[in-house]
Amino acid sequence: MSDTVLELASITKEWFGVPAVSDLTLTVPRGNVVGIIGENGAGKSTLMNVIGGVTPPTRGTMRLKGEPYAPGAPRDATRSGIAFIHQELNLFTNLSITDNIFITEYPRRFGMVDHRAAMTQTQALLDRLDIRHAPETMVEDLAPGERQLVEIAKALHRDADVIIFDEPTTSLTPRETARLFDVIERLREDGRSILYISHILSDVRRLCDKVAVLRDGRLVDEGAIGDFDIARMIRAMIGRELSSLFPDRSNLPSGQVMVQVDGISQPGVVADISFQIAAGEVLGLFGLMGAGRSELARILFGLDPAEKGSLSIDGREVRGAAMQRIRDGIAFVTENRRSEGLLMDAPISENISLATIGHIGRGPVGLLDREAEQALAEQARSDLSIRASDLTRQPVRALSGGNQQKVVIAKWLAASPKLFIIDEPTRGVDVGAKYEIYALVDRLAAEGNAVLFISSELEELIGMCDRIMVMNRGEITATFDPRETEPRFEREALLAAAFGEIVT
Amino acid sequence: MRRGYLDRAGTILLSDYFVLYLSLAYVAVLIPFLPVLSTPANLSNVLSNMWPLLVVAIGQTFVLTIAGIDLSQGSVAGLTSILIAILIATAAPEQVLGHTPVWGWLLSEAGGPLAGVSFGTWIGVGIVLAIAACIGFANGLAVAVLRMPAFMVTLVGLIALSAFAIWLTQSNNIRNLPDDFIALGKGTLVSLFFGEQYQAQLPRREVHAFVTWPMIVALSVAVAAHILLSHTVFGRRMMAIGLNREAAEISGVPVRRIIVMVFVISALCAAIGGLLYTGRLETGRPTLGGGNFLLDVIGATIIGGTSLFGGKAKILWTVWGVLFFVLLGNTLNLMNLSAFHIDMVKGGVILAAAFLDVSRQRLRRSRT
């Protein structure tokens, strides 16, 4: 018999009369992992904020361990035994692991901080989680995955009954993810309850006992994981049937080599990278975090230097700074669209024209041709179906992740490039919009461009690419071409290459 | 209903003319207590105080747009003031300036090297503007290429350049500037007389200057700056750098070149402002941009609405900011407050403006 730890009864949260969560009833049994899924804006964060005491519900009640639970502030939630592990971790990187765990309440002895007791207790927590670092290690010296484990240690220290994870794996390597899952497994056996929010449905399937699907603030589907396959999850999330996760590729690569990369090396970053991309080809680049994928992309785009090697497009060598390379036909959709791809506070039209702004200058002083700019934005809107109300006034900040990504792509399309370097284009984008971005990638290839598709999601590379190249520690360890091998792509072989193990 | 009022208040707060309304309201409130405020003599004075400050503040607006700051403007103005005077003075007293490092080879009893040369004044102006441009270029290189913080680079510029300017004349002022130069600082094109004419000759002190050469210069600079900032590719690229330098660079904006040019523009504006002040004072003064000059420049720009965080600026805002700041100083003067009190009030107003900047940003985001 599994007793209930957390009970939500008819929770509604309205913002200025608009419900973000409406009439939601959910129970969380002890020792269960409950997956919470839904598209961006479905109400997941609002719901978590209600549980975490950040904002009170407009209507409805909660019970925690049988007692009425109505936190007035995040502090109350922590005291009642709810821990929240955010996407962006709340750690003091300039302090040690021990300090981070005890920051709110150090053990005392004779009125003084008892460092020894703090250290011993920390060591015990670290042992429980298999963290092989000394308690006095500075958090800044830890990898992202290890930092997250420190957050979990904090939650354990406070003896939290309910631990909420919000997209915990976005910045983790596969190895760190596997370790996190082990830890979650152990927490469950320990009798703690987990709320696990994620966009990665295969993880949810693997990890959770129960799934709750949110759409437009409502609980639209709920059930034991045994009854939930990924198709049902997607159907519930988007409210319609999605025939498949990936569009069919509409073309085959032409036989003609368009992009030629020869022996690019930069000590400590990448070594002797050579490859070719044909016109109309999507070449995948897979690797673990830190394998040098994004670093290679920055070198190809002229943002970072390379000691040796060359890049040519259609037989013409490309060199110089990013500005020059844009003119020579390279586009770079960066991994981090907020900090590197967009001017978040500028209107959509100004973002779309940024890379080609030189073309809409008129006369000797370069007067802006606003009509041309607007026409460009209008064309991009209809072409890529960007959902926006006012192109010249609405800042991109106000758009959803998927539409923001479309704005980045529109910016590059305006420069009519030949080589698209696309780095993690679907990160933080919900399922429906992912499909649209895949369709765009397909279109870029179908129009005869070369695409270098960098991703750490193996599924999307397998779904979209003509060939997949794997990097490990700055080197290309393997290239998989399904035209030569059957079956299409082998997951195990790809992963093995990424981990740098011998492939036979 | 309440929402309606708040909404309208928000719209006014976000309007391009907000600070103009503020200035007008401020004047309207004070006129009953300070009737002298609206006299032609005082208005003429307010206007003439505006122009040099406006030119310098326009330069600061450009630098703030790219999320930089230029603290060296005051010392550039001071250096400009003393250099132009050394070059074009028509006479110089030996007992005052004889012991300065420029005596003998640049400056003598007969004045500077360009004294009496035809178009000497304009050659001198060209030379000092070129020197200012070089200073701006050096600032820009340090910020753009060496990636040093603008605050540090220009703070050093502020200290070193003003010390250099003072050393050049051993803290003395240089007088005896040629008439054509003085006209640049206070020459009048249109003057107005108010009242009945009861004698053939109008008394000179009742004729008030309205359209002056500094006004023409300042407004020309403002119009050019407005076009550059809001209607050209260059301005758009500046905004992009201010909003997100990394994204701008990846989108092919020539970031370094633009930063260098912006610092050159800032130094040129400081120099033009310095020239206008010099002409008006009829004196080359090394400490021209000292004291709280910088407070006035940055204060007026921020009050106008240009964001300290970069990427949000309009020349029109700066015009109103300068107007408000000059009015503020003027009215506090008329109230017979001491210079200390005036600076205390100005400091408070700038703090309020910085707060306004933050709240406007929040309001704008909440409206999208």
The burial class, CB within 10 Å (0-12 / 13-18 / 19+), for B190 is exposed
Numbered residues of chain B with Cβ closer than 8 Å to any chain A Cβ: 227-228, 231-237, 239-240, 243-244, 246-254, 311-312, 365, 368
> Which residues make beta-bridge pairs with A266?
A270
The answer on pLDDT for B89 being more than 80 is yes
Domain that holds residue B311: 16-191+205-366
Cis bond upstream, residue A417 (ω within 30): no
Separation of alpha carbons B233 and B316, rounded Å: 19
Tokens in use for A499? Answer: 């981990």
* This model's pTM is above 0.80: no
At A120, the amino acid letter reads T
A198-244: pLDDT as tens digits: 878 888 888 999 999 998 888 999 989 888 888 888 888 877 665 56
Separation of alpha carbons A391 and A387, rounded Å: 10
Lowest mean pLDDT among A115-124, A173-182, A484-493: A484-493
Say if the Cβ atoms of B311 and A345 lie within 8 Å.
yes
Separation of alpha carbons A428 and A40, rounded Å: 9
Please tell me the number of Cα atoms within 13 Å of B220 on its side-chain side.
8
* Chain B residues near residue A411 by CB distance under 8 angstroms: 251
Separation of alpha carbons B265 and A61, rounded Å: 62
The residue with tokens 């955010």 is A86
Which one of B234, B249, B368 has the shortest CB-CB distance to A322? B249
Residue B336 within any structural domain of the chain: yes
Identify the band that residue B357 occupies on the pLDDT scale cut at 50, 70 and 90.
Answer: confident
**Nearest residue to B290 via CA among B75, B6, B95:** B75
Residue B240 within any structural domain of the chain: yes
Residue B96 within any structural domain of the chain: yes
Say if the Cβ atoms of A322 and B250 lie within 8 Å.
yes
What's the CATH number where B271 sits?
1.10.3470
**Nearest residue to A500 via CA among A268, A335, A286:** A286
Determine the pLDDT at residue A363.
Answer: 87
Report which DSSP code applies to B289: T
Determine the pLDDT at residue B309.
Answer: 86
The residue with tokens 């004196």 is B283
Say if the Cβ atoms of B311 and A365 lie within 8 Å.
no
- Overall number of domains in chain B: 1
Q: CB of B281 within 8 A of CB of B177?
A: no
* Chain A residues near residue B248 by CB distance under 8 angstroms: 343, 354
**Nearest residue to B150 via CA among B159, B140, B158, B160:** B140
> Which residues make beta-bridge pairs with A422?
A333, A453
* Chain B residues near residue A339 by CB distance under 8 angstroms: 244, 246-247
Say if the Cβ atoms of A360 and B233 lie within 8 Å.
yes
Say if the Cβ atoms of B232 and A367 lie within 8 Å.
yes
What is the CA angle B342-B345-B348, rounded to 5? 150
**Whole-number percent of chain B with pLDDT over 70:** 94
* Chain A residues near residue B244 by CB distance under 8 angstroms: 339-340, 342-344
Say if the Cβ atoms of A332 and B228 lie within 8 Å.
no
Say if the Cβ atoms of B368 and A365 lie within 8 Å.
no
Q: CB of A378 within 8 A of CB of A392?
A: no
Separation of alpha carbons A237 and A49, rounded Å: 20
Interface test with A, best of B145, B226, B250, B362 (most A CBs within 10 A): B250
Residue B114 within any structural domain of the chain: yes
> Which residues make beta-bridge pairs with A7?
A27, A63
The answer on pLDDT for B1 being more than 50 is no
The burial class, CB within 10 Å (0-12 / 13-18 / 19+), for A57 is buried
The kind and range of the H/E element at B304 are: helix B293-304
Q: CB of B346 within 8 A of CB of B331?
A: no
What is A232-249 written as a DSSP string?
A: HHHHHHHSS--S-SSPPP
Taking the CA of residue A305 and the nearest CA in chain B, the distance in Å comes to: 14
Separation of alpha carbons A219 and A209, rounded Å: 17
Separation of alpha carbons A197 and B108, rounded Å: 81
Non-local (6+) Cβ contacts of B18 within 8 A are: B12, B305, B320
A354 touches chain B (CB under 8 A): yes
Count of beta carbons in the 10 Å neighbourhood of residue A231: 13
Which one of A355, A361, A415 has the shortest CB-CB distance to B232? A361
Taking the CA of residue B131 and the nearest CA in chain A, the distance in Å comes to: 24
Minimum CA–CA partner of A352 in chain B:
B251
Which one of B227, B252, B312 has the shortest CB-CB distance to A355? B252
What is the rounded average pLDDT of the residues A49-54? 88
Non-local (6+) Cβ contacts of A244 within 8 A are: none
What is the rounded average pLDDT of the residues A473-501? 78
Do the bridges between strand A419-423 and strand A330-333 make them parallel or antiparallel, or are there none, so unpaired?
A: parallel
Tokens in use for A432? Answer: 């429906």
The answer on pLDDT for A504 being more than 50 is no
Q: Give me the domains of chain A, ranges plus CATH numbers.
A: 4-238 (3.40.50.300), 257-498 (3.40.50.300)
Residue B9 within any structural domain of the chain: no
Q: CB of A300 within 8 A of CB of A311?
A: yes
Collapsed DSSP state (helix, strand, coil) of residue B119: coil
Q: Which of A90-104, A114-128, B247-261 has the highest mean pLDDT?
A: B247-261
Determine the pLDDT at residue B75.
Answer: 96
B157-201: pLDDT as tens digits: 999 999 999 999 999 999 999 999 999 888 888 877 776 666 667
* Chain A residues near residue B256 by CB distance under 8 angstroms: none
Determine the pLDDT at residue A503.
Answer: 43
A15 touches chain B (CB under 8 A): no
Interface test with A, best of B7, B228, B251 (most A CBs within 10 A): B251
Say if the Cβ atoms of B243 and A357 lie within 8 Å.
no
Give me the helices (H) in A302-362, please: 322-327, 348-353
ipTM (interface predicted TM): 0.87
Say if the Cβ atoms of A345 and B243 lie within 8 Å.
yes
Which one of B233, B243, B365 has the shortest CB-CB distance to A358? B233
Mean pLDDT of chain B, nearest integer:
90
Residue B333 within any structural domain of the chain: yes
A431-446: pLDDT as tens digits: 778 888 999 999 999 9
Separation of alpha carbons B139 and B149, rounded Å: 10
A341 touches chain B (CB under 8 A): yes
Taking the CA of residue A281 and the nearest CA in chain B, the distance in Å comes to: 24
Q: How far is CA A13 from the centre of its chain?
A: 27
What is the CA angle A95-A179-A268, rounded to 5? 70
Q: CB of A52 within 8 A of CB of A71?
A: yes
A230 touches chain B (CB under 8 A): no
